[in-house]
Structure 1
Amino acid sequence: MGKGKVYLVGAGPGDPKLITLKGLEAIQKADVIVYDRLASPRLLKHRKPGAGTIFVGKHPDKHMMKQEDINRLLVNLALEGKIVVRLKGGDPSIFGRVGEEAEQLKEHRIPYEMIPGITSAIAVPAYAGIPVTHRDFTSTFAIVTGHEYPNKTYSKLDWEHLAKGIGTIVFLMGVANLSNICERLISHGKSPDTPAAIICMGTWMEQETITGTLRTISGKALEANFTSPAVIIIGEVVRLRDKLSWFEQKPLFGKRILVTRARSQASELAAKIEDLGGEPVEFPVISLREPSRPEAIRALEQAVSCLELYNWILFTSVNGVDFFFEYLTKHHIDIRRLYGAKIAAVGPATADALRNRGLIPDFIPREFVAEGLLAGLEEHIRSGQHVLLPTANIARKLLEENFSRRGVHVTKVDVYENVLSTEGVEEVLELLRDGALHAVTFTSSSTVNNLLEALRQAGAVNPQELLAPLELVCIGPKTAETLHKNGFSRYRTAAEATIDSLVEALQAGAGSDSFF
């Protein structure tokens, strides 16, 4: 077996979107990822199927695995022929001990690459609205370790030069020694009134920032119980924070929001939450698949064999569009056979899905729900006409039953199945029990029912009790009705059945007392 390769990757300071493209590529091709606590675990979702993960901790003075053991682990994994990513917070070449790991790999003639990351020394102050340099204040800065090692003491630092010759000083790993750091700088000539800041959990959802002076910052940090990871920044540039603070001003900052959409659809909503400063936790309680029941498959085959028969085709979801046309493509059915049918879409997202396939819907209701379709099409669909309704196995029968009563020939077919997914439910249940979630989004009745069932299967005796304190936000009246039927009395409903409207409802909730 040939030797593998090790990628020593900087993950950035916390925000998973601060990973470099090259770092992300390494994660995507790795056979195993060895990561520590300062690398965002959300980066692990980009790993390929079957890739292993090994957590090695690296808390201050409390390591799950000693550095020598990590070095040996990297060597052994590579000798097994594996592609290994060593994922480290920030930039691993800045107090990250990447040199020691590289030396071990070199000694064993194992190929490796160092992939730099965005260092927390610059990114964290930037997320707090503090640039480390500014032409009106300083053009010099220094990055200093604030952590004392057994063989390295502060006496080896040139404190006088730091105090008098550097405009901005950034200390990493210095929370426990902050009082000592401030005293050293003051005793070597730094003004005690020099602005200072300490930023805890920088670039993460939990980011907190305290400002003061070299004289006061240590006491303020102690009073606020600040702990690692934190970045200390000392210099006149700290004055810019009041003017330039941006990250903590986002409307969903500090909110962790559960997204329950199907995996194929969750990304859009998650991205919008991230843009507004929230942290989405993707837990797709819905899994979508092709029909599996023989009778459903036969009914679909029969329906598409006579496409020329239909006067109208009604699409009630993006999923219905996607699965219907994927079925046509898979079975080599020419889309031109739809030439005689008019097409209705339940809302703008469904209409966009049709437009992406070159079809312009003939009708979109004012209310983006099945009831809106029913009311709006009443004057368009006549008795005796044929309507095709491609939908899910659990779809409501509202359209089918009402049009049938009016003498319309309705053919309802299941083009996909909506089934329960429980992957990752243990982690979600732990977040709920720890009070670490602030809101939940529901985009259909099935997301409500499936979330409750998934939590029950994971051992939650009363999932309603766990969810009730949270801000519950749903996409439309039918989803709200399902929440009510399941015992919830407090929730928000989007003004329109769209993702943008759902996000607006989230923002409205963020400003309320209930959204803690």
Structure 2
Amino acid sequence: MQLEIDLAGRRVVVLGAERASRRVVARYRAAGADVDRRETAQACTDAVLVGAALVVAVGDAVGEAPNADPDCAMDALRDRCRRSGALFVREAAAQGSGTVTLVGGGPGALGLLALDAAAALREADVVLYDRLAPTDALAELAPAADLVDVGKLPGHHRVPQAGINDLLVRYALDGNAVVRLKGGDPFVFGRGSEELAACLAARVPCRVVPGVSSAISVPAAAGIPVTHRGVSHLFTVVSGHAPLSDEEHEHLAGLGGTIVVLMGVSTLPQLVAGLGRAGMRPDMPVAVVERGYSASQRTTAGTLATIVTAAGAARCQSPAVLVIGEVVRVGLDLQGGAAHLARLTESLAS
């Protein structure tokens, strides 16, 4: 059962040591509550309970005597809260040792954030986040955390990757629960493996929470399936950060199926020229999906021969995902846009 209560301006008593209860205190203060922290259950007298809307016991014993039964102590405290009219809940204590959690935030839509990702953010002391992560509600998702922007812009890295690795380790060694929030999935062009390696080398416990990769989610947002029965039974994900070699173009053109390119707007001219030289037919459907899952999401469609002109006319910009293959035609057909692509193909043929 999950209950929601507006605690703005209400008094909340938190029972627990300062270090163990720090995240709980920060979370309720972020919700607007008037937080009264007490070290032990013994300090939570009947006078303290007067006017309290909620009592939060952090940990098990909550400072009771060593030989006391923590469950009995909690039952007694629960009964006193019931008599005073205050709600009573128990929460886990913050751990003393630092940890790092690499979290994939998906394409930026809050609803695509995994439950484990939301839980890690809720318990975080520090969040290092990228610009493509779901940051609009980050203060609410991580109410107890210091938020550190380490996002990278095309051609400009606010914090170099080595610096991010060092920050993760340093914050964790100071005893913090650190979350590295990245767009998409940490291990799909996210350099998450480098961050994991840095943590393991420093003996910092590190776990990975996968995210929904933009390679499949952004085409889906535009109604384009990356595979479709009878059309494409495979897809290849490529980084468009730098131009590909002639050999790579030949491999891609020879594989068939669907090609999905991330970070490929700036290298689109080289990509389509290279695929054309490698034998891909000029009327192969291509789509550029910009800002997937945002209010300004936009799809620009064309063919291998026309997409550079179409993208230039539309002033396509990053972040965007490129999709090359017959699945684009399938997606446009599902969206009622196949006629536009047919006109482009006919224009090319003439």
Could you say if the C-alpha distance between residues 37 and 49 of structure 1 is closer, same or farther in structure 2, counting changes exceeding 3 Å? closer
- For residue 109 of structure 2, what is the amino acid of its counterpart? D
Which residue matches 1:191? 281
* 1:167 match: 257
Equivalent in the alignment of 1:105: 199
1:95 corresponds to 2:185: no
Helix, strand or coil: the match of 1:101?
helix
Cross-structure match for 1:49: 143
Question: What TM-score do the two structures reach when normalised by structure 1?
Answer: 0.46
Aligned-pair CA distance for 1:213: 0.2
Pick closer, same or farther for the CA change 1:142–1:107 going to 2, 3 Å. same
**Do the aligned partners of residues 195 and 187 (structure 1) sit closer, same or farther apart at CA in structure 2, a change above 3 Å counting?**
same
Instruction: Report the count of equivalent residues.
Output: 242
Change (3 A) 1:95 1:156: farther
For 1:213 and 1:59, the matched residues in 2 are separated by 29
Report % sequence identity.
47
1:410 corresponding residue in structure 2? none
Out of 322, 325, 345, the position equivalent to 1:235 is 325
CA distance in 1, matches of 2:248, 2:334: 32
Unaligned runs of 5+ in 1: 247-516
- Maintained 8 Å contact 2:246/2:274: no
Does residue 201 of structure 1 match 2:291?
yes
Deviation at 1:156, TM superposition (A): 7.8
User: Structure 1: how far apart are the matches of 2:173 and 2:334?
Assistant: 49
**Which of the numbers 51, 76, 81 marks the counterpart of 2:175?**
81
The higher radius of gyration belongs to 1
**Amino acid of the structure 1 residue aligned with 2:253:** A
Matches of 2:102 and 2:290, distance apart in 1: 25
RMSD between aligned alpha carbons?
Answer: 1.7
Task: Determine if contact 1:29/1:47 at 8 Å carries over to the other structure.
Answer: no
Structure 1 runs, 4 residues or longer, greater than 6 Å off? none
Deviation by residue 1:262-292 (Cα, 9 ceiling, x = unmatched): xxxxxxxxxxxxxxxxxxxxxxxxxxxxxxx
Q: Does structure 1 residue 124 correspond to structure 2 residue 214?
A: no
Shift of 1:232: 0.2
Pair 1:197–1:111, CA change in 2 (3 A): same
Map of 1:82-481 to 2, 5 A cutoff? 82-148=176-242, 154-155=244-245, 158-245=248-335
The answer to whether the Cα contact below 8 Å between 2:129 and 2:180 also exists between their aligned partners in 1 is yes
CA–CA separation in structure 2 for the residues paired with 1:59 and 1:178: 18
- Residue deviations 1:193-228, cap 9 Å, x none? 100000110111110100000111111111211111
Q: Partner of 1:66 in structure 2? A: 160
Distance 2:143 2:240 in 1: 39
Change (3 A) 1:121 1:49: closer
Contact in 2 for aligned 1:197/1:210 (Cα 8 Å): yes
**Deviation for aligned residue 1:43:** 4.0
Tell me how far apart the structure 2 counterparts of residues 113 and 157 of structure 1 sit (CA, whole Å).
36
Give the aligned residue type for 2:201.
E
State the AA in 2 paired with 1:90.
Answer: G
Which residue matches 1:431? none
CA distance in 1, matches of 2:245, 2:237: 17
* 1:157 Cα deviation from its structure 2 partner: 5.4
1:355 aligned partner: none
Q: Does 1:8 align with 2:102?
A: yes
| Higher helix proportion | 1
1:30 corresponds to: 124
* Aligned equivalents of 1:96, 1:144: Cα separation in 2: 13
CA-CA distance at 1:52 after TM superposition: 1.1
Code of the residue aligned with 2:285 in structure 1: it is P
Residues 101/242 of structure 1: CA separation in 2 closer, same or farther (3 Å cut): same
Q: Distance in 1 between matches of 2:182 and 2:142?
A: 19
Q: Runs of 5+ in structure 2 lacking a partner?
A: 1-94, 337-350
TM-score between the two structures when normalised by the length of structure 2: 0.67
Partner amino acid, structure 1, of 2:165: N
Relative contact order, higher structure (CA 8 A, sep 6+): 2
State the Cα distance separating 1:183 from its structure 2 match. 0.5
In structure 2, relative to structure 1, the CA distance for the partners of 1:48 and 1:187 (3 Å cut) is closer
